[in-house]
Amino acid sequence: MIKAIKGTRDILPPESALWSRVENTAREILALYGFAEIRTPVFESTELFARGVGEDTDIVSKEMYTFEDRDEQSLTLRPEGTAPAVRAYIEHQLQQESSIAKLYYLGPMFRRERPQKGRYRQFHQIGAEVLGSDNPAIEAEVLEMLQFFLKQIGIEDQTLLVNSIGCPVCRPRFLEELKRALAEKKVQLCLDCQRRSETNPLRVLDCKVESCQPVIDSLPKISEFLDEACRAHFDKFLGYLTSRQIPFTVVPRLVRGLDYYTRTTFEITSGVLGAQNTLIGGGRYDGLAEALGGPPTKGFGFALGLERILLVLQQSEKQVAAGPAQLFLAPLGEAAFEKATLLARDLRQQGIRCLLDFEARSLKSAMRLANKLQAQYVLILGETELQTGRYLLKRMTDGTQREVREVEIPAALRGVAVPVSQG
């Protein structure tokens, strides 16, 4: 038997319905905040990620799925969505259409990392980018939007962590001090951090290895090296969060794992997930467009992992609100079946989700099937019901039965009062 590749998985019903509701909620809220969807190819030139994400990041050096096509061009399955979105922004000169572009994307990403709970080699992200402004009010608005989104889908356990990692003007002085401190404690670091301390010392701060944490806690803080412009930007950002009543915690070690970040970085975490608790991450990347050969462009964005979001929802009692009431039609006899097919068509056109069994069953068997399919209501159609034009509607949660005419069915499913009988 051929099975799914290691690190990938099939998303099956009923879980797939929850995925759809989360995605649809995200689309609705992103639209409310003025974002428009962008769809980029699943594979790009390898150079895009080497230049954009950074050659010394774990993503580029260890995790990318890279291959040569028949023209000997190096291609890579996208490991993240920001670099492709900025590439498209540059290529199609979207800056000419508006001074600020607000784009979002949704789809699969690929990284060859060790599969574990909530982490897969094919995973799914929703991300958004604001291109064309460095106003810290934009950053606060995006975080306001994310907080709104998480509450809408039922995630109340959320913590916002923020930091500023400076800019190319003030960061070099910090990096010199960081290298000096790392050199003194190099032997106490994991092998990856020993390498990073030479090639890209900022990445050491992003290490999750437990034995490295005491060393990292003792290292200089970048907040002590911010220049006046970066400090003013960060203070304004924090002020906007405060005015919006968005709780936050400043974490001086928060740098994220990609080279393109500058100034503001953030993560939103959830205690439900344990150690690997990040739901959403992002920040400012004002130099990325130039690194990819485009015009100077200010940028700020985020990405959220859908697998992580779904993991939290599945472990919590409160989830995304269910869709329209689901109705199972239980016809008894050939004439009732023919009527049920037409009735299902009419109800679906009114927005009612209908399930219809195409096999002849007894009422007892039909009720068992309806229960297995998690139908909320069952409509019983027998010979008597066809003659009188009145059908028996049963609510599965408590066994309440109502006698309804065809025109009353949608209202009855929506909770509008109709005559009730117990049975």
Tens-digit pLDDT profile for residues 65-95: 999 999 999 999 999 999 999 999 999 999 9
What's the mean pLDDT when you consider all of the chain? Answer: 88
Query: Sheet containing 66-68: which strands, arranged edge to edge?
Result: 43-45, 74-77, 66-68
Using omega within 30 degrees of 0 as the cis cutoff, is the peptide bond preceding 41 cis? no
Establish if 176 belongs to a structural domain: no
d(CA 238, CA 247): 10
Contacts of 150 (CB under 8 A, 6+ apart): 156, 158, 268, 279
In the Cβ-directed half-sphere of 345, how many Cα atoms lie within 13 Å?
Answer: 5
Does residue 157 share a domain with residue 283? yes
- Confidence at residue 189, expressed as pLDDT on a 0 to 100 scale: 85
Does residue 236 share a domain with residue 266? yes
Give the number of domains in the chain.
Answer: 2
Contacts of 339 (CB under 8 A, 6+ apart): 331, 381, 386
pTM: 0.82
Does residue 340 share a domain with residue 295? no
Establish if 221 belongs to a structural domain: no
The pLDDT tens digits for 340-396 are 999 999 998 888 888 888 887 888 898 888 888 888 999 999 888 888 989 999 999
The answer to whether 125 touches 307, Cβ cutoff 8 Å, is no
Establish if 182 belongs to a structural domain: no
- Confidence at residue 317, expressed as pLDDT on a 0 to 100 scale: 53
- Confidence at residue 373, expressed as pLDDT on a 0 to 100 scale: 83
CB atoms within 10 A of CB 20: 13
SS3 235: helix
Q: What is the phi/psi pair of residue 143, to 5°?
A: -70, -35
- Strand extents, DSSP E, 194-291: 249-250, 264-269, 278-284
- Confidence at residue 418, expressed as pLDDT on a 0 to 100 scale: 40
Low-confidence ranges of the chain (pLDDT < 70): 56, 118, 257-258, 274-276, 316-325, 415-423
SS3 421: strand
Q: Alpha carbon of 419 to those of 285, 392, 403, 406, 408: distances in Å?
A: 62, 11, 7, 14, 11
- Confidence at residue 182, expressed as pLDDT on a 0 to 100 scale: 85
- Confidence at residue 127, expressed as pLDDT on a 0 to 100 scale: 97
Domain boundary among 289, 315, 341: 315
Domain boundary among 282, 315, 348: 315
Domain boundary among 263, 290, 315: 315
What length is written for the chain?
A: 423
DSSP state of 359: S
The answer to whether 59 touches 257, Cβ cutoff 8 Å, is yes
